[in-house]
Amino acid sequence: MNRRGNGDASAPAGASPLIELDRIGVAFNAQLRVGSPRFWALEDVSLTLAPGDRLGVVGRNGSGKSTLLRTLAGIITPDRGRIRRAPVSCQLLSLALGFVPHLSGRDNAILSGLMLGLRRREIVARLPAILDFSELGDFFGQPISSYSTGMLMRLGFSVAIQVDPDVLLIDEVLAVGDTDFQQKSGDALRARIHGGKTIVFVSHGDAQIRQVCNRALWIEHGRSMLDGPVDDVLAAYHAAQAPAAAAASG
């Protein structure tokens, strides 16, 4: 299991990397049948994550971005290649993890917090902050089966933002909920990101990547194509899409 390390706000030059992926491959079974063919969600991906990096991951749907995030989190073990990790905690930003419908918002917050790795006294101490951030008021003690979708998202995000792993992995979600909460959740997450946290951020939104990240990685068919400054990678990614787009419309 990952132990908590101490992240640096500014990574000194030559700081040892937090995670190194060396030509990793991840294979899935296509079907639940004996001897069914495997397909390789990741074929050959290499990357190095240094402390304080804010890495954006771009690629088409099905290129392996989510699988990459889960591999970084330690949820998926690669079938090929090597991973080297420093003793740091890596978590996916997971909303509404493990929520049980018939329990109150309060109990679900504790349950979710425990699943995300917090100790009980830690999550209980943060309950007022969660209640406050989610603006649920009296609903906090009601079963979440009575919540609207927006309320569920608010509770889910308020809990998730309490977890502070050394490496935060974000799968496209930068903000949730209705207009007001979008602003609030987006601000909270951006504060976390720009506070020196190491993050890996998968997104289809160029503007968001440029805003958030200092590096980018382009994944295509499970292979790392280009790893470098955000503008270069985005340019190369879009250049590769252009002929396909032209062919589709032509």
Partner 1 sequence: MRLHLFELTLFSTYAELRAERARSYLGLLWWIIEPAMNMATYYLVFAVILKSGGPDYIAFLLIGLTLWQWFKSCVSHGGYSIWQQLPLIRQVKLPLQVFPTVQILADTVKFLCILALLLVVLWCSGYPPNIAYVGLLPVLLVEMVFVAAATYVVAAVVPLVPDLRFVIEQVLQVVMFLSGIVFSLDGVPENLRRWFVLNPIVELVDAGRGILMHGQWPNWFALGRVALISLALYAFGAFLIERLTPRYVKLPT
Q: Does 119 bind partner 1 (CB under 8 A)?
A: yes
CA distances, 192 to each of 19, 161, 186, 248 (Å): 20, 9, 10, 40
Q: Does 81 bind partner 1 (CB under 8 A)?
A: no
Q: Does 194 bind partner 1 (CB under 8 A)?
A: no
The dihedral sign for the CA sequence 105, 74, 91, 113:
positive
Q: Does 27 bind partner 1 (CB under 8 A)?
A: yes
Q: Does 42 bind partner 1 (CB under 8 A)?
A: no
Among 49-57, 107-115, 132-140, 207-215, which window interacts with partner 1 (CB under 8 A)? Answer: 107-115
199 and 49 Cβ atoms separated by less than 8 Å: no
Q: Does 125 bind partner 1 (CB under 8 A)?
A: no
- Report how far residue 250's alpha carbon sits from residue 237's, in angstroms, rounded to the nearest whole number: 20
160 vs 233 by CB, closer to partner 1: 160
CA distances, 18 to each of 3, 51, 89, 120 (Å): 12, 6, 10, 27
Per-position DSSP letters for 118-178, written without gaps between them = --HHHHHHTHHHHHHHHT-GGGGGSBGGG--HHHHHHHHHHHHTT---SEEEEES-S--SS
Q: Which of residues 138-167 bind partner 1 (CB under 8 A)?
A: 143
Q: Does 98 bind partner 1 (CB under 8 A)?
A: yes
Phi-psi region of 221 (alpha: psi -120 to 50; beta: other; left: phi over 0): left
Q: Does 236 bind partner 1 (CB under 8 A)?
A: no
For residue 161, the minimal CB distance to partner 1 (Å) is 15
For residue 232, the minimal CB distance to partner 1 (Å) is 32
Question: Which of 58, 92, 151, 174 contacts partner 1 by CB under 8 A?
Answer: 92
97 vs 216 by CB, closer to partner 1: 97
CA distances, 159 to each of 17, 121, 229 (Å): 29, 14, 33
DSSP conformation class of 103: S
**Mask of contacts with partner 1, 52-71, x by CB under 8 A?**
------------------x-
100 vs 244 by CB, closer to partner 1: 100
Query: Which residues contact partner 1 by CB under 8 A?
Result: 1, 26-32, 70, 73-77, 91-92, 94, 97-98, 100-103, 107, 110-111, 114-120, 143
